[in-house]
C-alpha cells in the first residue's frame, strides 16, 4: 500500500503550488515553490525538472528534501520527507509528466521551449499530515 | 492503527472502533462505486456494439458519459484520413455544438494525446497556464521571444480546469480521441481513468467498425461513377466531396455509336444488348485506365469528363489519348459488327469549359451531373463526327498539339450555338 | 541591503516559507505567517506558528542556517538566506502585524479572482497563534521569479 495515503493524490495535481526545501553540501538550505509533485506509487513521488536551478544543484550534492503539499479542496497539508533515488529521461513516469508539460506548453505557444529535462524520482521516507496547522471552524 | 491498544480501556477501544468503522465505510463506498461502474460498463458495451451506424455509436458513447457516468461535458474527435488533425464529431453538454472544429495533432491536451496515443489526465489547467504565461512574459521582456504561436481556440470549455482525454486505438492505429472535461480543478480521479479506459476500448472498435461500414457503403455508391482509385481517393479525403455543387473547368468527351438507333430498331434485343455490352466493356476499360469521370451513359451515348472531382494538370491530353485509344479499340469491334450485318461507327466530341457540377436528383437517388455550355458543345461535336472521327474544340489546340496531329475544319454550325464553332479533327496521336 | 522591492514584498501579501536543515543536512520546512524588516534593512523577523517552530528551532540552534522564500500570487518571488539570531514568543504588536498580513493575503487572493470558498481557507486557514518570532540576519537575496534571471543574486 505504501506510505502515501489515497487522499494525498489530490494534493499532487498541481492545483495549488507546493514547496520544496533542499540543502547544499555547504549546509545552506534553499526554499522554493514548485508547480507540481507527481504521484508515482505509494512510496515514490517525482519532481519535474525544466531548468537547471539551485534546487537541482543541491539535490546533486545532497539527496534529502522536504516537500510541503496542500489539498485543493480540504486544504489539509502534508510534510513529505524525501530522498532522491534517481533521475529519468525516459520511461512511463517521464513520458506521463512530459506529455502534460508538452500539452500545456503548446497552449501558450511554448512547445519545445518549456520542456521536461528529467523526472527526479524520490523515495518517501515519511508522510506527516500537519492538520495542526489548520484553523478549523 | 499501530497504536498499542490497552484492550481494558473502553475509551481507547471506542476510538479504535470508530476509526475502523470510518475506514470500512470508505472502503464500502469505494467498492459500491466500483461495482456500479462495472455494471455500467457492461451496459454501455452491449449498447455500443449493437449498431453499425456511426452517428448512433457516437451518440451512445457520449450519452453514456453524461447520463450514466456523470461527466457533464464530453467530446468525441475522429482522426482524419490525411492524418494531421482530429475533428470534433460529436459533443455533449456544451449547448452550442462545435462539430467540425479541428485540432492539429500536437496542440493542447487533445492534440498531444492524439500524437502520443496515450491517456492524459490534467487537473490544474488554469494554474499551469498562468504559470507558463508568466514565464513567457518574462522571456519576452528579456528579449527571448519564444518562437511559437498559441494554437487557435481549441474546442471545448473556454476555461476548462480539468480534462481527461484518451486515444481511441484499434491495434495502435488512432481512430479518435474521447475527452471529458470540467470547469472545476481536480475533477477526475483514478477510478474515472479506469472506467474511461474500458469504455474507450469498446468505443474505439465500435467507431472504427461504423466508419469502415460507412466508407464501404460510400465506396460502393461512388464506384458507380468513378474509377475505384478515384472512389477511394474521395473516401480518404484526397478529393473534395464531389456531390457538393461546385464550378470547375473541365474537359468533356462525348461518344456515341453512329447507326445505333437504326440498328436497335431492326436487330433482336439480345443482339442489341450484346453489342452494347461489348462496347461498354471496352470503353469502360479505357475510361478507368485514363481516370476519367463517367458522368452518364444512355444506351450508346457516354459522357466523360476530366479535372473533376480530382484535379489533373493534363485534362486535355488525357481526353485526347483516351479518345484515340477508344477509336483504336472499337475498330475491330465495328469490323466484327459489320460482318454481322450492322453498320456501326464511333463518333467522339471533345470540348473544354466551365461546368457546374454536383449531385443531381433526390433522396435515395443521387446522380453526379455536370451542366454547362461545354457539355452541349461536346455532344454537338460528337453528333457532327462521322464513324471513326474525333472532333475537338480548338480551345484545346494548345494543349494537345504536341501529342496529336490535328486538321483544322471550317467552323461548324451547331444547334444551340449562335455563331459557327471553330473545330478541328484529331487525326492520330503522334508517336511517343 | 535588502532591495526596495523585496522590502515591499516582505511586508505585503506574499506567501512565505522557511527552510532549515539538521546536522545530517536533512531539510525542514514551515510556513511563516507574516514578517517584518528591521531598520537596518538586514535583520528580518518572521512569525511562525509555535506548533511548527520546534523542529526548525532545533535546526536553527544547531547550525543557524536559514532560507526564507517569499512569493506573490503573480509568481514574482525572492529568497533570502542568512543566519539565525534569536527567538521569542510573538507579542501584541506582532499579532497586529500578522492580522494586517492575513487581511492583505485574503484581499489579494480575492482581487485576482479566487472565489471566496477558496480564498478564505487558503489565506486564513493557517494557525498563527500562539506564534514564535524568529529573527535572522539576511546575508544574501536572490531573485526567484520563474523564468530568465531566476537565481540571480540581488544583494
In a shared domain, residues B45 and B183? yes
Q: Which residues of chain B lie closer than 8 angstroms to A9, CB-CB?
A: 189-190
In a shared domain, residues B203 and B348? no
Q: Strands B365-371 and B390-393: what pairing?
A: unpaired
Per the listing, cell 468505443 goes with: B203
In a shared domain, residues B400 and B298? yes
**Can the peptide bond before residue B148 be classed as cis, meaning omega within 30 degrees of 0?**
no
- B-side interface with A, Cβ within 8 Å? 106-109, 111-113, 116, 118, 120, 122-125, 127-129, 131-133, 135-136, 139, 146-151, 154, 185-186, 189-190
Under an 8 A CB cutoff, do A112 and B133 touch? no
Domain region containing B379: 240-429
Domain region containing C54: 4-143
B5 CA to centre of own chain: 71
In a domain? residue B364: yes
Q: Which CATH architecture is the domain A1-42+57-88 placed in?
A: Roll (2.30)
| Domains of chain C: total | 1
**3-class SS letters over chain A:** CCCCCHHHHHHHCCCCCEEEEEECCCCCEEEEEECCEEEEECCEEEEEECCCCHHHHHHHHCCEEEEEEECCCCCCEEEEEEEEEEEECCCHHHHHHHHHHHHHHHHCCCCCCCCCCEEEEEEEEEEEECHHHECCC
Tell whether A32 lies on the interface with B, counting CB pairs under 8 A: no
Give the CATH number for residue B370. Answer: 3.30.70.1230
Task: Say which range, A19-33, B96-110, B223-237, has the weakest mean pLDDT.
Answer: B223-237
Cα separation of A47 and A68, whole Å? Answer: 13
In a shared domain, residues B253 and B206? no
pLDDT on residue A1: 66
Helix (H, G, I), strand (E, B) or coil at B86: strand
Confidence of residue B5 (pLDDT cuts 50, 70, 90): very low
The predicted-structure confidence for B363-406, as pLDDT tens digits, reads as follows 666 677 888 999 999 999 999 999 999 999 999 988 999 999 99
In a domain? residue C116: yes
Give the CATH number for residue C119. Answer: 2.30.110.10
In a shared domain, residues B34 and B103? yes
Q: Which residues of chain A lie closer than 8 angstroms to B112, CB-CB?
A: 99, 102-103, 106
In a domain? residue B152: yes
The predicted-structure confidence for B292-315, as pLDDT tens digits, reads as follows 888 877 778 899 989 988 788 899
The alpha carbon of residue C122 is apart from the nearest alpha carbon of chain A, in Å, by: 7
pLDDT reading at B96 higher than 80 = no
Residue B33 · residue B191 · CB < 8 Å: yes
**What is the percent of chain B where pLDDT is above 70?**
89
In a shared domain, residues B175 and B255? no
Under an 8 A CB cutoff, do A113 and B148 touch? yes
Q: Considering CB atoms only, which of C18, C27, C124 is closest to A22?
A: C27
Cα separation of B97 and C116, whole Å? Answer: 32
In a domain? residue C149: no
Q: What is the pLDDT averaged over residues C88-114?
A: 94
In a shared domain, residues B193 and B283? no
Instruction: Give chains near C: 3+ CB pairs under 8 A.
Output: A, B
Tell whether B139 lies on the interface with C, counting CB pairs under 8 A: yes
pLDDT reading at A136 higher than 80 = no
In a shared domain, residues B186 and B280? no
In a shared domain, residues B88 and B164? yes
**What pairs with residue B348 in β-bridges?**
B255, B390
On the CB side of B420, how many CA atoms lie within 13 Å of its CA? Answer: 8
Sign of CA dihedral C70, C44, C152, C26: negative
Last residue of a domain, one of B153, B183, B217: B217
In a shared domain, residues B318 and B415? yes
Amino acid at each position: 500500500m505504501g506510505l502515501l495515503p489515497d487522499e494525498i493524490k489530490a494534493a499532487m495535481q498541481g492545483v495549488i503550488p507546493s514547496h520544496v526545501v533542499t540543502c547544499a553540501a555547504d549546509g545552506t538550505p534553499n526554499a522554493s515553490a514548485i508547480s507540481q509533485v507527481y504521484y508515482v506509487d505509494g512510496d515514490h513521488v517525482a519532481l519535474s525538472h525544466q531548468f537547471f536551478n539551485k534546487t537541482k544543484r543541491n539535490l546533486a550534492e545532497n539527496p534529502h528534501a522536504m516537500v510541503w503539499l496542500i489539498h485543493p479542496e480540504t486544504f489539509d497539508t502534508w510534510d513529505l520527507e524525501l530522498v532522491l533515488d534517481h533521475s529519468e529521461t525516459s520511461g512511463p513516469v517521464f513520458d506521463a509528466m512530459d506529455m502534460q508539460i508538452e500539452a500545456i506548453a503548446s497552449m501558450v505557444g511554448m512547445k519545445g521551449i518549456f520542456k521536461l529535462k528529467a523526472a527526479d524520482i524520490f523515495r518517501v521516507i515519511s508522510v506527516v499530515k500537519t492538520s495542526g496547522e489548520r484553523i478549523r471552524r | 492503527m499501530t497504536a498499542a491498544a490497552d484492550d481494558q480501556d473502553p475509551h481507547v477501544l471506542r476510538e479504535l472502533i470508530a476509526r475502523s468503522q470510518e475506514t470500512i465505510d470508505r472502503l464500502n463506498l469505494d467498492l459500491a462505486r466500483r461495482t456500479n461502474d462495472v455494471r455500467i460498463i457492461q451496459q454501455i458495451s452491449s449498447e455500443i456494439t449493437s449498431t453499425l451506424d456511426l452517428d448512433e455509436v457516437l451518440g451512445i458513447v457520449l450519452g453514456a458519459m453524461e447520463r450514466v457516468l456523470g461527466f457533464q461535458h464530453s467530446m468525441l474527435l475522429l482522426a482524419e484520413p490525411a492524418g494531421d488533425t482530429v475533428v470534433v464529431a460529436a459533443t455533449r453538454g456544451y449547448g452550442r455544438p462545435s462539430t467540425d472544429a479541428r485540432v492539429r495533432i500536437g496542440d493542447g491536451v487533445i492534440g498531444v494525446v492524439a500524437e502520443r496515443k496515450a491517456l492524459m489526465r490534467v487537473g490544474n489547467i488554469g494554474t499551469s497556464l498562468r504559470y507558463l504565461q508568466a514565464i513567457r512574459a518574462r522571456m519576452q521582456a528579456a528579449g527571448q521571444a519564444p518562437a511559437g504561436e498559441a494554437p487557435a481556440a481549441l474546442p471545448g470549455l473556454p476555461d476548462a480546469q480539468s480534462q481527461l482525454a484518451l486515444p481511441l486505438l484499434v491495434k495502435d492505429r488512432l481512430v479518435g480521441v474521447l475527452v471529458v472535461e470540467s470547469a472545476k480543478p481536480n475533477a477526475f480521479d483514478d477510478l474515472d481513468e479506469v472506467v474511461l479506459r474500458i469504455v474507450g476500448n469498446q468505443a474505439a472498435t465500435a467507431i472504427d467498425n461504423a466508419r469502415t461500414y460507412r466508407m464501404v457503403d460510400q465506396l460502393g455508391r461512388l464506384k458507380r461513377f468513378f474509377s475505384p482509385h478515384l472512389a477511394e481517393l474521395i473516401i480518404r479525403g484526397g478529393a473534395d466531396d464531389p456531390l457538393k455543387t461546385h464550378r470547375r473547368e473541365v474537359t468533356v468527351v462525348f461518344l456515341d455509336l453512329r447507326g445505333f438507333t437504326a440498328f436497335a430498331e431492326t436487330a433482336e434485343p439480345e443482339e442489341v444488348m450484346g453489342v452494347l455490352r461489348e462496347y461498354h466493356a471496352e470503353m469502360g476499360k479505357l475510361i478507368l485506365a485514363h481516370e476519367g469521370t463517367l458522368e452518364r451513359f444512355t444506351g450508346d451515348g457516354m459522357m466523360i469528363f476530366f479535372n473533376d472531382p480530382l484535379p489533373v494538370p493534363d485534362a486535355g491530353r488525357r481526353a485526347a489519348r483516351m479518345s484515340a485509344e477508344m477509336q483504336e479499340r472499337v475498330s475491330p469491334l465495328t469490323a466484327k459488327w459489320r460482318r454481322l450485318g450492322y453498320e456501326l461507327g464511333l463518333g467522339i466530341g471533345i470540348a473544354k469549359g466551365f461546368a457546374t457540377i454536383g449531385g443531381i436528383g433526390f433522396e435515395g437517388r443521387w446522380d453526379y451531373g455536370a451542366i454547362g455550355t461545354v457539355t452541349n458543345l461536346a455532344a454537338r461535336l460528337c453528333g457532327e463526327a462521322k464513324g471513326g472521327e474525333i472532333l475537338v474544340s480548338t480551345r484545346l489546340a494548345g494543349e494537345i498539339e504536341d501529342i496529336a496531329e490535328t486538321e483544322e475544319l471550317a467552323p461548324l454550325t451547331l444547334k444551340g450555338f449562335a455563331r459557327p464553332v471553330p473545330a478541328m479533327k484529331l487525326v492520330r496521336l503522334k508517336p511517343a | 541591503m535588502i532591495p526596495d522591492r523585496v522590502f515591499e514584498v516582505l511586508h505585503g501579501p506574499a506567501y512565505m516559507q522557511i527552510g532549515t536543515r539538521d546536522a545530517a543536512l536533512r531539510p525542514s520546512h514551515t510556513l511563516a505567517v507574516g514578517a517584518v524588516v528591521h531598520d537596518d534593512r538586514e535583520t528580518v523577523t518572521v512569525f511562525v506558528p509555535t506548533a511548527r517552530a520546534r523542529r526548525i528551532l532545533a535546526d536553527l540552534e544547531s547550525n543557524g542556517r536559514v532560507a526564507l522564500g517569499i512569493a506573490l500570487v503573480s509568481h514574482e518571488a525572492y529568497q533570502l538566506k542568512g543566519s539565525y539570531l534569536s527567538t521569542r514568543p510573538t507579542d501584541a504588536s506582532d499579532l497586529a502585524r500578522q492580522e494586517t498580513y492575513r487581511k492583505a493575503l485574503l484581499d489579494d487572493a480575492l482581487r485576482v479572482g479566487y472565489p471566496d470558498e477558496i480564498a478564505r481557507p487558503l489565506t486564513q486557514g493557517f494557525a498563527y497563534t500562539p506564534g514564535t518570532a524568529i529573527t535572522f540576519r539576511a546575508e544574501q537575496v536572490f531573485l526567484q521569479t520563474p523564468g530568465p534571471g531566476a537565481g540571480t543574486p540581488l544583494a
